[in-house]
């Protein structure tokens, strides 16, 4: 008799509002704290997950403080174990970190997927590590439901893993702070 494989899901939550989100600066891998509003957003996301009856077996989170704090607030509410996942760290934008998000030079550089932003990480390298993580969860996850708490750049790559996207769609894709997105693993 064959046992039915449990349908696994990936839930993604972008961290709460950070100080540099408010200042409209490129955060990337720079470790920037949440605002008080960001902490409240994280708590609200935890409450929403609980209200929706979503069963999370494990929360994996970026080690950057804005994501780690968001994950911690959610975990307290839904009572799920936390596992730090370095592969969920936001892309390093090299010389552009701390600059205005709408910088023309940055937007042009960001359209080049092999560009490492002079000391950062290329989009292709970012995709490699996130795709490897998702492949690991798919192959070795044992049918668990995972909540991944990370960053907007990570959200784009995760979405592109599950859906075909043009370069323009990829560049335009984003999620709001503490938005919950669901994918079938």
Catalytic residues: 15, 90
Q: In this structure, are residues 75 and 149 in contact, taking their beta carbons and an 8 Å threshold? A: no
Contacts of 125 (CB under 8 A, 6+ apart): 116
Query: Are 61 and 11 spatial neighbours (Cβ–Cβ below 8 Å)?
Result: no
* Both structure tokens of 31: 């470790």
Distance CA 99, CA 25 (A): 5
Please state, in angstroms and rounded to a whole number, the distance separating the CA atoms of residues 171 and 16.
21
The rounded distance, in Å, linking the Cα atoms of 8 and 10 is 7
């Amino acid at each position: 008799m064959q046992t039915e494989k449990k349908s696994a899901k990936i839930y993604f939550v972008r961290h709460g509002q950070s100080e540099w989100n408010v200042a409209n600066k490129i955060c990337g891998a720079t470790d920037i704290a949440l605002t008080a509003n960001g902490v409240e957003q994280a708590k609200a996301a935890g409450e929403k997950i609980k209200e929706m009856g979503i069963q999370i077996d494990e929360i994996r989170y970026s080690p950057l403080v804005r994501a780690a704090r968001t994950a911690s607030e959610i975990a307290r509410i839904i009572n799920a174990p936390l596992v730090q996942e370095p592969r969920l760290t936001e892309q390093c934008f090299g010389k552009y970190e701390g600059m205005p998000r709408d910088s023309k030079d940055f937007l042009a550089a960001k359209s080049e997927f092999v560009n490492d932003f002079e000391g950062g990480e290329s989009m292709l390298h970012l995709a490699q590590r996130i795709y490897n993580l998702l492949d690991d969860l798919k192959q070795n996850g044992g049918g668990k439901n995972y909540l991944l708490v990370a960053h907007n750049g990570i959200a784009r790559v995760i979405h592109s893993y599950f859906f075909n996207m043009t370069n323009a769609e990829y560049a335009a894709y984003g999620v709001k702070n503490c938005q919950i997105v669901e994918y079938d693993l």
